[in-house]
Structure 1
Amino acid sequence: MAEVSTEVPGDERGTLLAFVEAQRAALREAAQGLTEEEAASRPSASELSLSGLLKHVAECELGWLRRAQQRPNERERDAETWGDSFRLVEGESIPQVLAFWDGVARETEAFIAAVPSLDDVFPLPPAPWFPADTKVSMRWMLLHLVEEFARHAGHADIVRESIDGTRAMG
Structure 2
Amino acid sequence: MAQISMEVPGDERGTLLAFVEAQRTALREAAQGLTEEQAASRPSASELSLSGLLKHAAQCELGWLRMAQGATGPEEGQEDAWADAFRLVGDETVPSVLAHWDEVRRETEAFILAVPSLDDSFPLPPAPWFPQDAKVSMRWMLLHLVEEFARHAGHADIVRETIDGTRAMG
Per the alignment, residue 88 of structure 1 pairs with 88
Looking at structure 1, the residues matched to 130 and 31 of structure 2 have their Cα atoms a distance apart, in angstroms, of 32
Which structure 2 residue ranges, 5 or more long, are not aligned? none
SS of residue paired to 1:122: strand
Say how many residue pairs are matched. 169
Partner Cα distance (2:124, 2:40) in 1: 32
Change (3 A) 1:117 1:2: farther
RMSD: 1.2
Which residue identity is paired with 1:79?
Q
Residues 30-71 of structure 1 deviation map (CA, whole Å, 9 limit, x = unaligned): 000000000000000000000000000000000000000011
After superposition, where does 1:8-47 map in structure 2 within 5 Å?
8-47=8-47
User: Which amino acid is the alignment partner of residue 69 of structure 1?
Assistant: Q
1:78 corresponding residue in structure 2: 77
Aligned to 2:165: 165
Query: What is the Cα deviation at residue 90 of structure 1?
Result: 1.8
- Report the identity percentage: 81
TM-score (norm 2): 0.96
Q: Which residue of 2 aligns with 1:6?
A: 6
- Taking structure 1 as the reference length, what is the TM-score of the superposition? 0.96
Match of 2:111 in 1: 111
1:74-153 equivalence runs, <5 A:
75-80=74-79, 81-153=81-153
Give the conservation status (yes or no) of the 8 Å contact 1:56–1:85.
yes
The structural deviation recorded for 1:6 is 2.8
